[in-house]
A and B are shown apart, each in its own frame.
Chain A
Amino acid sequence: MIVEAGHFALILAFVFACIQIVVPLIGARRGDDALMDAGRMAALGQFAFILAAFLSLTHAFIVSDFSVAAVAANSHSAKPLLYKISGVWGNHEGSMVLWVLILALFGGAVAGLGNNLPPSLRARVLSVQGMIGAGFLAFILLTSNPFFRVNPAPVDGSGLNPILQDPGLAFHPPFLYLGYVGFSIAFSFAIAALIEGRVDAAWARWVRPWTLAAWCALTLGIALGSWWAYYELGWGGFWFWDPVENASFMPWLAGTALLHSAIVVEKRGALKSWTILLAILTFLLSLMGTFLVRSGVLTSVHAFANDPERGLFILGLLLVATVGGLGLYAMRAPTLKTGGLFAPISREGGLVLNNLLLGTGCATVLIGTLYPLVLDAFGGGKVSVGVPYFTLTFVPLMVPLLVVMGIGPLLAWKRGDLPGVLMRLRAAAMVTGIACLATILLNDGPAFAILGVTLAVWLIMGALTELADRIRLFRGPLSASLSRLIHLPRSAIAMTTAHAAMGITVLGITGSTAWQTERILIMSQGDTTEVAGYALTLEKVAQVPGPNYTAERATLQVAAGGRTITTLYPEKRRFTNPPQITTEAAIRTTLMADLYAVLGDRQEPGAGGQGKAGWTVRIYHNPLVPWIWIGTVIMVLGGLVSLTDRRHRVGAPARAQAPGRPRTA
């Protein structure tokens, strides 16, 4: 019964979404407050019914109701509770329900919290949100019904893919979707602004917190995914330029550009058309990511629903959103008034450069991701685009970006004083120089390590200089500086935090790629090997039972300087439902470096007695790798601090009166 009620709730949510499209749009056109308010009710209703559907599906997973096809195919009664719940979104159907739930959550938040928005803008935003919601609800109901029953019900389910049974991955999709789907609000605001024909500072201020929230969630979602890949896949790496990783990275790049260009619209009234385009593209890239993952047009570790019919439906939705969004943009953008002028060397100039580089970076990733597909489409044969392409194209674009990130925030609006700013960055430049020299002297890895460290230190020092400048540190009593710090706008602290955090992440990426030590060998019981100053001894490999698997667990004693410091237990887990083997890397972190061990296959002695029996063991020493995720988490904290900025909490400024149109309030 609960299952059928969930299905029915989903249908009702679709009806509410349809109401949400039509009624507020008519209300906004007529200036009818009652109709516009009905849009808010519809948005809240849509959210309530999707929540009901989601809860009923979750219930089916928790009680292991195998008469539901999605549960039978993706769950198992012997699974721990956490993975029964995360199994709800560990499959195509359920993850789509989570997708629309988050979409409706954002719509509901605009309806419930958007009291400072002009009613007509809010009504149009909700209408566009309704269109997206209706499209995806129809997709679920027509092609991917999560409540489909099977008769007779199987005795037990076939289980969730074991590599997904992991806490990191349990929370990776929800955050990713919060990010992807959160950008739908930026899209809806952009479409509403194009319909109204007005983009101004107030618009930019309204759209900012939504973009920021989505960006924070997406950053965290990508970080969780890469962290999971690092410790679960056992390859010792953290980013593989897999098409699906790229699919999440492209909206991130576009969204990061959007965050910055919206500041220019807000402060200076410039870059309006570009910001609108970015808002549309960011969400379209999110949709394209959904399409790529779920249609099976590209090979990827993630491709989980290879169904052309579903792919066609999402392609249809993507097409409608693209033609609607970009078509409206093409027609209306030229009518947007361009705002304040500025010199190339200015804060705006820096932000434009930021946008150019992020935009080009995004295009580079797009080309690399789709090139195999496009080439294949034009009969060019099968190719794959791998890490070398991205190292040669994307990474060089990030070098000037990081240089400018150190300087840009110190430039004044309208017209900056570059020599003056460089003078203020003297101390930062000196520290960077010392770091550069130290790296040159100590570096035993490739030369790019020097560049990476230099850029990262420059970025951190630049961000700190900007903050010190603002609070006049060392130029007066310390107490005065502290009091300035406390009264600084939160957004300023947020920027310093996020930029410095980027520096920490860059250090982590540089350290772990440049100075990684890797050793793959066959070890017998009692063998000792040395990696980066650690002596690892294989004590034994034993069978260990787990809740829904059995594991081969190696015991590796780790000693440094003759003293045993820790024991690593890398595992190979053999799951029975479904039958699959996963590796559990054992990681010992000092926060400065990770010692990372993976247990491989048992090796038989080779023919003719050559080679020895034992286990393949892979050991990595990854310097600075934890900084990648420490940096991203601090970056997200920066975003959250920015969300609490005063200008988002107190009432937004009154909008300038539109000429020749009475204000509807």
Chain B
Amino acid sequence: MAMTERTALTDQSEGMSYLNSLPRRVMTVYLPLAVFVFVLLFPFYWMAITAVKPNAELTDYKNFSPFWVVQPTLDHIKYLLFETSYPGWLWNTMVVAVGATFTSLFTAVLAAYAIERLRFKGSRWVGLGIFLAYLVPPSILFIPLALMVFKLGLYDTKFALILTYPTFLVPFCTWLLMGYFRSIPYELEECALVDGASRIQILVKILLPLSVPGLISAGIFAFTLSWNEFIYALTFIQSSENKTVPVGVLTELVRSDIYEWGSLMAGALIGSLPVVILYSFFVDYYVASMTGAVKE
């Protein structure tokens, strides 16, 4: 555990002394790392291998090794894509996630700019309020929100989700963008102000182009959060054609008598792919947004 601090030393000065302790390094670093990686990734492997296993192999552990597949099949995926509403759920999730993300980004850019740069009266308190809003969990809000959604006539529509997801996205994005705006030199704006630019021109032409990385971070994170959201989607959506992937997979693919593990795992895997692909392209932005939100 305490080996870590040597990083800096191995890097710079006394690399030689660590040649001696290679076995020790294997025991304290590589072995635990291997165990961690194995445990953290095994469920994904298990998902993938189950998704392509024919039903005969799936539960027959005597004749087939469960860790491998002898005759891979695409039946489960075919079933999922052509005989269930799964493609529709994917589409719904995409629409809701994109809609909620852009709404939140737009709202958050304006709010963060106002709090961080316009410094209107009471902006400190508003900033604190935004942070506190971030701490309100959806599990407390879903009951009153369900009532509101019902009264507004939005029950069982995608709008219910697009309008409610910003409740946890806006505070997060605003908080992240506030930190990002703070890192951009104020002098740039002063120059523009002196040259007669309006506040909106400054925001659109100077601040936003400079904060593209921050916007990507916030956007990726917001998209992932809306893609993964469950409790609102479970509560506000009833009909199969409006469900999102997490809700659809859980409520429609699971039937009480027989579990179709193959198609369930295929559904879980394909439902995870969009966020994983997005994440793999923007790992650094994602990490930046996660740690950025924590560090502030």
> Are A and B a genuine interacting pair, yes or no?
no
